[in-house]
């Protein structure tokens, strides 16, 4: 059987391998999932929760080993790899309880009618996921899909098949046959799943692949949930605390080697404080140790592969040729390493200001005032996250109101309180997930109504 080998991007060494799922086996997997679905749905939300809750302790116990494998597969620092697995396990019970609430039927009544609103499974869900958070991204799709009463086939990224397999093994240990399956491979397996007889496609990945999935799904009007790329802006107002804005900008531009969908990719700084901000940002970048994720003190590991790094290097070179100034970083090391770069003098004529970079690059664009910052921040087809830093919270909040993004952070990152959705505006998403409203996108709403007895009539 053909295998998919996973390589360490730091040194090119193989980490492990999985069998590739032959494309012509996908329809049999879907048939197995369809056969398993009615009994899974019949358990109801609490029965499904009970079948899944044992995964919490399994994930916490396996966090060190699976986190190490994750770090070796895609490069992020070990503490972040282990943390990704551990926090998924730690949060599981609370998430399951929230999903029981989301998928439990509600009664809505008026004077004449009593309606039951049900949140039922759609059938078979295909979950197709990226490599940048290879444990939590599958979780964000698979868990609500299962809890809604669907059976699921996960197609993890070909860059991180071992972590995808570990996730399915840990989550699925107590599940009946056919409820959760995994298909390994690359775009061919993804396309085959999209074309198969599935009822919902939950996808997290690039905008280009999202567009092709949407087009392919149109033929059968298959339901889709797309969480796509971003080009997130950070606006730094003239009254911002420069040191903390620069510290935040470095962390949010370079974390996970810049390979986070809500990484800061563009920084609009008021020209009154721009020199001080840029100096502080370069100093922060210089403090971040680059190296193998398993080395002590490393803050930035290698990028996921040399192809992704080549894309970043091309954008950097083109921006410099058009007049941007590279103040630090940008040097390519062995493996897929790239030193964190700060670019000043970026303009919107440059590709690097418009297309997703997904690498350790901070692009600084100097602006005259808040209006120019807002206009440029919104000058993109993306709309995932946006952040504003400012001293006067009311003024920062007024700027936040004008930023066209699904999630906006004021003097902090974009992540919302537990219960709020993860949501992209514009071309960063189509549908969303998390929170009661997000969970329900994995279900079919059904309204079952009956008449109420007329007042005064004996029943
Ligand atoms: P990608 O789009 O290249 O691949 C994602 C998945 O789709 C992989 O499993 C891949 O094998 C599969 N695939 C590729 N072509 C396909 C096709 N034609 N049909 C079906 N499946 C196909 O993305 P990536 O490089 O793995 O991940 C990085 C991207 O993901 C970035 O754009 C990032 O912004 C985005 N992302 C978004 C979010 C979010 O919440 N919005 C979260 C994480 C990552």
Say if residues 98 and 436 touch (Cβ distance below 8 Å).
yes
**pLDDT-based confidence at residue 310 (cuts at 50, 70, 90):** very high
Average pLDDT estimate for 382-401: 98
Q: Tell me, what's the pLDDT at 86?
A: 98
* Average model confidence (pLDDT) across the chain: 97
Give the residue, by CA position, lying nearest to ligand 1 atom 26: 130
Beta bridge partners of 338: 332
Condensed to tens digits (0 to 9), the pLDDT of residues 326-383 reads 999 999 999 999 999 999 999 999 999 999 999 999 999 999 999 999 999 999 999 9
Q: Which DSSP category does 456 fall into?
A: T
Residue 361 lies in a domain: yes
Collapsed DSSP state (helix, strand, coil) of residue 218? helix
Q: Where residue 212 sits, what CATH number does that domain have?
A: 3.40.605.10
Residue 454 lies in a domain: no
275 and 355 housed in the same domain: yes
Task: Indicate the number of domains in the chain.
Answer: 2
Residue 197 lies in a domain: yes
**Vertex 99, ends 127 and 58: CA angle to 5°?**
70
Beta bridge partners of 341: 361
Average pLDDT estimate for 97-103: 98
Residue 458 lies in a domain: no
143 and 252 housed in the same domain: no
Give the residue, by CA position, lying nearest to ligand 1 atom 39: 227
56 and 165 housed in the same domain: yes
- Is residue 455 pLDDT above 80, yes or no? no
Q: Which DSSP category does 374 fall into?
A: H
Average pLDDT estimate for 285-304: 97
- Is residue 433 pLDDT above 80, yes or no? yes
Q: Tell me, what's the pLDDT at 457?
A: 61
214 and 333 housed in the same domain: no
Q: Under 8 Å CB-to-CB from 264, ≥6 apart: which residues?
A: 232, 233, 234, 249, 252, 253, 362, 387
Could you tell me the two tokens for 406?
A: 């699904």
What CA–CA distance (Å, rounded) separates 51 from 32? 19
Q: Tell me, what's the pLDDT at 1?
A: 81
Residue of 130, 201, 304, 359 best suited for mutating to test ligand 1, as the one with most atoms within 8 Å of CB: 130
- Is residue 275 pLDDT above 80, yes or no? yes
- Is residue 459 pLDDT above 60, yes or no? no
Residue among 227, 265, 284, 356 flagged as catalytic? 227
378 and 241 housed in the same domain: yes
- Is residue 425 pLDDT above 70, yes or no? yes
Average pLDDT estimate for 108-131: 98
Backbone angles phi, psi at 321, to 5 degrees: -65, -30
* Burial class (CB within 10 angstroms; exposed 0-12, middle 13-18, buried 19+) of 287: exposed
- Expressed as residue numbers, the domain containing 366 is 232-410
Average pLDDT estimate for 233-248: 98
- Is residue 194 pLDDT above 70, yes or no? yes
244 and 282 housed in the same domain: yes
Condensed to tens digits (0 to 9), the pLDDT of residues 213-235 reads 999 999 999 999 999 999 999 99
49 and 131 housed in the same domain: yes
What CA–CA distance (Å, rounded) separates 325 from 80? 31
Calculate how far, in angstroms, residue 228's C-alpha sits from the geometric centre of ligand 1. 7
Q: Tell me, what's the pLDDT at 458?
A: 59
94 and 211 housed in the same domain: yes
Calculate how far, in angstroms, residue 204's C-alpha sits from the geometric centre of ligand 1. 5
Q: Tell me, what's the pLDDT at 82?
A: 98
What CA–CA distance (Å, rounded) separates 68 from 75? 10
Does ligand 1 lie within 6 Å of residue 161's CB atom?
Answer: no
Does ligand 1 lie within 6 Å of residue 40's CB atom?
Answer: no
What CA–CA distance (Å, rounded) separates 141 from 147? 10
Q: Where residue 296 sits, what CATH number does that domain have?
A: 3.40.309.10
Average pLDDT estimate for 247-276: 98
Antiparallel, parallel or unpaired: β 232-236 and 180-182: unpaired
108 and 252 housed in the same domain: no
Calculate how far, in angstroms, residue 129's C-alpha sits from the geometric centre of ligand 1. 6
**pLDDT-based confidence at residue 261 (cuts at 50, 70, 90):** very high
Calculate how far, in angstroms, residue 29's C-alpha sits from the geometric centre of ligand 1. 22
Lowest mean pLDDT among 225-239, 263-277, 357-371, 443-457: 443-457
Residue 23 lies in a domain: yes
- Is residue 185 pLDDT above 80, yes or no? yes
Give the residue, by CA position, lying nearest to ligand 1 atom 35: 205
Residue 137 lies in a domain: yes
Beta bridge partners of 151: 124
- Is residue 270 pLDDT above 80, yes or no? yes
Does ligand 1 lie within 6 Å of residue 209's CB atom?
Answer: yes
328: annotated active-site residue: no
240 and 223 housed in the same domain: no
Average pLDDT estimate for 408-422: 97
Calculate how far, in angstroms, residue 206's C-alpha sits from the geometric centre of ligand 1. 4
Does ligand 1 lie within 6 Å of residue 384's CB atom?
Answer: yes
Does ligand 1 lie within 6 Å of residue 229's CB atom?
Answer: yes
Give the residue, by CA position, lying nearest to ligand 1 atom 16: 187
Give the ligand 1 atom nearest the CA of 185: 11
Average pLDDT estimate for 185-211: 98
Quickly count: other Cβ atoms within 10 Å of residue 24's Cβ.
8
Does ligand 1 lie within 6 Å of residue 73's CB atom?
Answer: no
281 and 167 housed in the same domain: no
64: annotated active-site residue: no
- pTM, two decimals, is 0.97
268 and 147 housed in the same domain: no
Say if residues 9 and 304 touch (Cβ distance below 8 Å).
yes
Residue 453 lies in a domain: no
State whether the Cα torsion 92-158-257-315 is positive or negative.
negative
């Amino acid at each position: 059987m053909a295998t998919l080998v996973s390589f360490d991007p730091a040194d090119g060494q193989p980490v492990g391998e999985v069998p590739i799922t032959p494309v012509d086996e996908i329809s049999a997997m879907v048939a197995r999932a369809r056969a398993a679905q009615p009994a899974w749905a019949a358990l109801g939300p609490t029965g499904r929760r009970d079948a899944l809750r044992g995964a919490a302790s399994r994930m916490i116990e396996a966090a060190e080993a699976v986190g190490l494998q994750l770090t070796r597969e895609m490069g992020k620092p070990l503490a972040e790899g282990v943390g990704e697995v551990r926090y998924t396990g730690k949060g599981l019970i609370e998430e399951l309880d929230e999903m029981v609430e989301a998928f439990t039927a509600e009664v809505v009544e008026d004077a004449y009618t009593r309606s039951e609103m049900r949140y039922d499974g759609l059938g078979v869900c295909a979950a197709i996921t990226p490599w940048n958070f290879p444990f939590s991204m599958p979780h964000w799709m698979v868990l609500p899909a299962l809890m809604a009463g669907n059976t699921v086939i996960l197609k993890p990224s070909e860059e991180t098949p071992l972590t995808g397999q570990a996730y399915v093994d840990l989550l699925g240990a107590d599940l009946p046959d056919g409820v959760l399956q995994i298909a390994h491979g690359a775009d061919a397996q993804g396309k085959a799943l999209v074309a198969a007889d599935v009822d919902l496609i939950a996808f997290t990945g690039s905008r280009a692949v999202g567009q092709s999935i949407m087009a392919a799904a149109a033929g059968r009007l298959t339901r889709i949930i797309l969480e796509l790329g971003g080009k997130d802006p950070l606006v730094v107002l003239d009254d911002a605390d420069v040191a903390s804005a620069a510290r935040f900008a470095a962390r949010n531009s370079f974390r996970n080697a810049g390979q986070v969908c809500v990484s800061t990719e563009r920084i609009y700084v008021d020209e009154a404080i721009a020199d001080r901000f840029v100096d502080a940002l370069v100093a922060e970048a210089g403090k971040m140790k680059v190296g193998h994720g398993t080395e002590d003190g490393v803050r930035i590991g290698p990028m996921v592969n040399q192809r992704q790094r080549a894309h970043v290097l091309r954008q950097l070179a083109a921006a410099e040729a058009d007049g941007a100034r590279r103040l630090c970083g940008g040097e390519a090391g062995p493996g897929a390493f790239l030193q964190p770069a700060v670019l000043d003098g970026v303009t919107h004529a440059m590709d690097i200001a418009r297309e997703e970079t997904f690498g350790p690059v901070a692009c600084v664009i100097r602006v005259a005032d808040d209006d120019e910052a807002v206009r440029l921040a919104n000058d993109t087809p993306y709309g995932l996250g946006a952040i504003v830093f400012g001293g006067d919270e009311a003024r920062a909040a007024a700027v936040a109101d004008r930023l066209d993004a699904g999630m906006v952070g004021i003097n902090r990152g974009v992540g919302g309180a537990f219960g709020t959705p993860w949501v992209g505006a514009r071309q960063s998403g189509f549908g969303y997930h998390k929170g009661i409203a997000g969970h329900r996108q994995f279900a079919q709403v059904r309204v079952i109504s009956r008449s109420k007895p007329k007042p005064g009539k004996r029943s």
